[in-house]
């Protein structure tokens, strides 16, 4: 196996992780920044540290990505498939970041994997794609929406007699904890997805076996790169999540972050399902905002976001397929 091809593929995988970090950093901190619970730089620093910590909490999601979505390809062609999959994900991340659209880096990666596999003639494990990607893609936003609404209703009832100004100050402090929990869940989910890709590259190169544990250097490299990307920030997407859907106040921000973090931990530890942090936090914000009435949520913005969710996988798949054919054309 060409060592250069392996190094390039791992480098692109880490590049994807970096774009994932600055693309999805808004997921963890947009609500805290918009409610002024944290300053932008403090929020980014906290999110980077918690992303780093979350990356070491498990490897179930990484196993799903490396073994449960496509059959592991072999040889130079296999490495080209993996390279093209990552290319599709990176390109889509950059496009959606430019337009400030909070799409899912996770589904960009999964779409890239499926598109490149189909173009390269590698078998797609459709059962795994359906159960681990497609069903959670529809189910997790619904759960986030419903739980976000219920959590906010509970908060409103519990603090109905409290002084509004004192309550908001208290929730502004509490948001530092909920935002940290959200960032920890983001690291738990998204760093593992790249770990799975790097492990697949090592298996293709015959450096690691299919059943070997994830090397510690892979965990460190993916965790650190995700944290660096997070610290770089994603200001365009942060504005969309923090202000354009609804005008958040501290109790709403706390409810949305707590909801999203709970859904991510459940998906990671109980089901090993690689869900989208973007989908969960966005739907939680919608659920929280709807407690003020349907007009409180800017449904036009929400509709555009949801449309972005649906086109992410096929768009990344198309880019990945074209990328694979280009690699084959140039390098044979």
pLDDT of residue 332: 63
Can you tell me the mean pLDDT for 5-24?
Answer: 91
What six digits make up the tokens of 75? 């040889």
Q: pLDDT tier at 29 (50, 70, 90 boundaries)?
A: confident
pLDDT of residue 250: 92
Contact status, residue 73 vs residue 82, Cβ threshold 8 Å: yes
pLDDT of residue 87: 94
Which DSSP string corresponds to 213-280?
A: PPPHHHHHHHHHHHHHHHHH--HHHHHIIIIIS----HHHHHHHHHHHHHHHHHIIIII-----HHHH
Q: Is the pLDDT of residue 278 over 60?
A: yes
Contact status, residue 257 vs residue 175, Cβ threshold 8 Å: yes
pLDDT of residue 246: 62
Lowest model confidence (mean pLDDT) among 30-39, 56-65, 70-79, 87-96: 30-39
Domain count, the chain: 1
Q: pLDDT tier at 331 (50, 70, 90 boundaries)?
A: confident
Contact status, residue 224 vs residue 84, Cβ threshold 8 Å: no
pLDDT of residue 244: 56
Contact status, residue 16 vs residue 226, Cβ threshold 8 Å: no
pLDDT of residue 243: 55
Task: Give the gyration radius of the chain's Cα atoms.
Answer: 19
What six digits make up the tokens of 52? 């780093």
Using CA atoms, how far apart are residues 223 and 192, in angstroms rounded to an integer?
8
Contact status, residue 189 vs residue 274, Cβ threshold 8 Å: yes
Q: Residue 8: left (phi > 0), alpha (psi -120 to 50), or beta? A: alpha
∠273-104-139 over CA atoms, to 5°?
45
CA 164 remoteness from chain centre? 34
Lowest model confidence (mean pLDDT) among 109-123, 187-201, 292-306: 292-306
Can you tell me the mean pLDDT for 36-51?
Answer: 85
- Rounded to two decimals, the pTM is 0.89
pLDDT of residue 233: 67
What six digits make up the tokens of 54? 């979350």
% of the chain exceeding 70 in pLDDT: 92
Domain carrying residue 106:
3-331
Q: pLDDT tier at 301 (50, 70, 90 boundaries)?
A: low
Half-sphere exposure for 83 (CA within 13 Å, toward CB): 21
Contact status, residue 25 vs residue 44, Cβ threshold 8 Å: yes
pLDDT of residue 225: 94
Using CA atoms, how far apart are residues 155 and 275, in angstroms rounded to an integer?
26
């Amino acid at each position: 196996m060409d060592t250069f091809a392996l190094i390039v593929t791992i480098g692109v995988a880490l590049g994807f992780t970096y774009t994932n970090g600055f693309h999805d950093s808004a997921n963890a901190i947009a609500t805290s920044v918009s409610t002024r619970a944290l300053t932008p730089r403090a929020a980014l620093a906290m999110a980077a540290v918690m992303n780093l910590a979350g990356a070491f909490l498990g490897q179930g999601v990484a196993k799903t990505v490396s073994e449960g979505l496509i059959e592991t390809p072999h040889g130079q062609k296999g490495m080209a498939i993996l390279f093209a999959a990552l290319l599709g994900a990176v390109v889509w991340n950059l496009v959606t970041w430019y337009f400030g659209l909070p799409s899912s880096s996770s589904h960009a990666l999964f779409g890239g994997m499926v598109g490149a596999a189909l173009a390269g003639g590698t078998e797609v494990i459709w059962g795994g794609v359906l159960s681990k990607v497609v069903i959670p893609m529809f189910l997790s936003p619904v759960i986030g929406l419903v739980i976000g609404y219920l959590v906010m209703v509970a908060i409103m009832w519990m603090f109905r007699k409290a002084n509004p100004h004192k309550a908001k100050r208290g929730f502004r402090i509490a948001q530092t904890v909920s935002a940290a929990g959200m960032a920890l869940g983001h690291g738990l989910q998204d760093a593992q997805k790249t770990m799975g890709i790097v492990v697949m590259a090592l298996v293709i190169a015959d450096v690691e076996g299919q059943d070997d544990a994830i090397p510690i250097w892979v965990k460190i490299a993916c965790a650190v790169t995700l944290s660096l990307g997070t610290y770089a920030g994603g200001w365009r997407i942060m504005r969309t999540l923090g202000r354009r859907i609804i005008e958040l106040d501290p109790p709403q921000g706390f409810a949305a972050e707590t909801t999203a973090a709970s859904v991510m931990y459940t998906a990671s530890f109980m089901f090993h399902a690689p869900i989208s942090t973007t989908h969960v936090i966005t739907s939680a914000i919608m659920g929280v905002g709807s407690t003020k009435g349907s007009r409180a949520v800017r449904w036009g913005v929400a509709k555009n976001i949801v449309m972005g969710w649906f086109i992410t996988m096929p768009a990344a798949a198309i880019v990945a397929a074209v990328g694979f054919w280009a690699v084959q054309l140039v390098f044979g």
